[in-house]
Amino acid sequence: MRPCGACVAIVLFGALLAWKAWVPQVGQPAPEFELKTLAGGQASLSALRGVFVDSSGVVRAVHS
C-alpha cells in the first residue's frame, strides 16, 4: 500500500519541527534544562557541558 502524499507531508513537517526544537539555533546559547533525578532532586544539564555521545553511542568528554 502506497502512503498518501498528505500523510507523508505531515510526518515530514512534524520531523522538521522536532529537529528545529532539538538543535540549538546558530548564535544562540543552548537552553538550560533541569532533569528530575530518581531521588527526587534536580540536576542541571549545564553540568554535562563538555560531554558528548559519539556515533557509536559512547559518552566522551571534550578535552580543552
| Residue 20 within any structural domain of the chain | no
Of the two residues 14 and 63, the one the predictor is more confident about is 14
d(CA 6, CA 47): 42
pLDDT of residue 64 exceeding 60, the answer is: no
- The reported pTM is 0.35
* Average confidence (pLDDT) over 28-53: 58
| Residue 37 within any structural domain of the chain | yes
| Residue 9 within any structural domain of the chain | no
d(CA 26, CA 21): 12
> Residue 59: helix, strand or coil by DSSP?
strand
* Average confidence (pLDDT) over 29-55: 59
pLDDT of residue 57 exceeding 60, the answer is: yes
pLDDT in tens, 9-35: 888 898 888 877 776 665 555 555 555
C-alpha cell at position 22: 532539538
* Average confidence (pLDDT) over 36-57: 61
| Residue 62 within any structural domain of the chain | yes
